[in-house]
Structure 1
């Protein structure tokens, strides 16, 4: 059997993403390593405090030779439109988290709203990635 340990989000600016995910969302830095032997590639991961077994890699959009410039531009466009990935966060208090995050400067695109599966809200990170915040209310779960 296996478990999910790390997921990746493309980001257009690692420092802006780091600030957002740590200072605004309250996640912790897991790894921040620059590898000179790989052209100063920066491996940067964050994760929710209290959930040490899952990391989010804040991955810069590479250029050549990893990705040709046309493809890199396509990825930047998709990320900016919010179509390159979504992070789904759960909470026991969507309204309370919403107010806490708004106070920290997070701009929501969807305020908390009752849905068939619970209370759900949405915002985007500085690169454009969607983040959903959900208080799940599924009977029996």
Structure 2
């Protein structure tokens, strides 16, 4: 088994699609009309990983938008070029909660999506091969 995608609560499909495409440079993987205003919309990073956009349809669901992890970082995106993606995201108007920092696992910065959910942008630290060579 593998996790295929996760549901991500949105107010409206098109505003969420626009944000993911503009801010994260993601693509629309699928956008199928299911009738009655419901759509099956999947967005994803160009190197893999997807979210299923789920439009809130009740007051309880609407109240949960932007609270995916109760204020903690909910999502983690990895990059191979931190400086490029950080600069592109700044130019796209993404809100960052801090300046980039170095951690034992790599370079990281916390940012907020269009609803206030917190994400990490991470460039993982290069790990030496485990073959006895230095």
Aligned pair 1:56/2:44, yes or no? no
Answer 1 or 2: which has greater helix percent: 1
In 1, the alpha carbon distance for the partners of 2:53 and 2:40 equals 8
Instruction: Give me the CA root mean square deviation.
Output: 2.4
In 2, the alpha carbon distance for the partners of 1:30 and 1:77 equals 22
In 2, the alpha carbon distance for the partners of 1:136 and 1:50 equals 15
1:78 to 67, 92, 104: 67
Equivalent in the alignment of 1:25: 24
In 2, the alpha carbon distance for the partners of 1:99 and 1:77 equals 24
- Tell me, what secondary structure is at the counterpart of 1:78? coil
Equivalent in the alignment of 2:2: 3
Identify if the C-alpha distance between structure 1 residues 44 and 103 changes in structure 2 by more than 3 Å, giving closer, same or farther.
same
Aligned pair 1:126/2:126, yes or no? no
- Tell me, what secondary structure is at the counterpart of 1:110? coil
In 2, the alpha carbon distance for the partners of 1:27 and 1:77 equals 19
Report the Cα offset of residue 73 of structure 1.
4.7
Task: Give TM-score scaled by structure 2 length.
Answer: 0.81
Give CA-to-partner distance per residue, 1:88-139, whole Å, 9 cap, x none: 1001222231112111222211221111211101111112222210011163
Aligned pair 1:15/2:14, yes or no? yes
Equivalent in the alignment of 1:110: 98
For structure 2, the residue ranges without an aligned partner over 5 or more in a row are 130-134
